A and B are shown apart, each in its own frame.
Chain A
Amino acid sequence: MQRTYELMFIVRPDLADEDVDKVISTIEAQVTSAGGTLKNVERMGKRRLAYLVRNFADGLYILFTIEGPGSAISEVERRLRVTEPVIKFITVRVDQEQKRLGKVKAIRDSRRRGQGTHAQAAAAEAAQTAEPPAEQAPAQA
């Protein structure tokens, strides 16, 4: 079962750029070795943290989009915990949410497209129902 996860982690701000790249590639390798595929890497830049984490006031945010089984994620998280430059991480499962969003969007699109045809169908139905009673009424009367 391929599940989609978002892994966001914070790297210490006092690392040089190439060290950050090294950290990212290490984690990428861990993801692939654990059986997952990395879909997307996004660097969200240096941000001020809302509270002190290990006496750091800012950090570099990095977002991974990973596809893989749950066991891969637990393996990656286990390794992240011991990686020294990473000070915080969170994994969020996103495939269920995206499935729901896709459904909502599909309903909304079909409703929007069908508004023109729906109105025509309703008008046609109304015309049809109007005719038979009109025919019956003069017949009865």
Chain B
Amino acid sequence: MADETVQQPQAPAASEGGSPRPQGGRPPRSGPGGGPGGPRGERKYFRRKKVCKFCTEKIDAIDYKDYRLLGQFVAESGRIVPRRLSGVCTPHQRRLSRAIKQARNIALLPFGSGSRP
């Protein structure tokens, strides 16, 4: 919230300068990838350039037994984190999802949050 109040004086200035520009308007608020705390006023299309953790570390085998690694991609509610938030590439996300579901079946990961007191 502090970020937004600081940037608000800047944002109108950017829009006034931006209207004569040939590019069509500012990206909408929820624009590319939902950045942290709202838009910065600049038009960045790939915010934060999130990379796939498995591709960079060259982890080939996503094992259902490795609950620590899998737990990084599971929210507190127990739900699988979507690809656009975690930055995982599609083939790895598919394998990850399969491994998480296998781990859930063998009680290494929870199905939901309210199951344990």
Contact = CB atoms under 8 A, between A and B. Distances in A.
Interface of A: 8, 10, 44, 47, 49-53, 59, 63, 88-90, 92, 97, 101, 104-105
A88 B106 contact: yes
Interface in B78-116: 102, 104-111, 115-116
B60 A49 contact: no
Nearest to A44: B65
**In the complex, which of the residues B106, B111, B116 has the most CB atoms of chain A within 10 Å of its own CB atom?**
B106
**In the complex, which of the residues B107, B109, B110, B115 has the most CB atoms of chain A within 10 Å of its own CB atom?**
B107
Contacts of A101: 60-61
A10 B103 CA distance: 13
Contact of A50 (B60, B64, B108): B108
A4 B110 CA distance: 27
Interface residues of B, number: 15
B60 A90 contact: no
A60 B101 CA distance: 20
Given A92-B102, A101-B60, A104-B60, A50 B107 contact: yes
A124 B65 CA distance: 49
A59 B106 CA distance: 11
Contacts of B105: 88, 90
B102 A52 contact: no
**In the complex, which of the residues A50, A97, A101 has the most CB atoms of chain B within 10 Å of its own CB atom?**
A50
A49 B117 CA distance: 12
A53 B108 CA distance: 12
Contacts of B116: 50-52
A8 B107 contact: no
Interface string B47-85: 000000000000011001100000000000000000000
A85 B116 CA distance: 22
A59 B65 contact: no
B115 A51 contact: yes
The 6 A-B pairs of least Cβ separation, nearest first, read A51-B115, A50-B110, A49-B107, A90-B106, A50-B107, A90-B105
A79 B81 CA distance: 36
A47 B65 CA distance: 12
Contacts of A50: 104, 107-111, 115-116
Contacts of A53: 107
A97 B106 contact: no
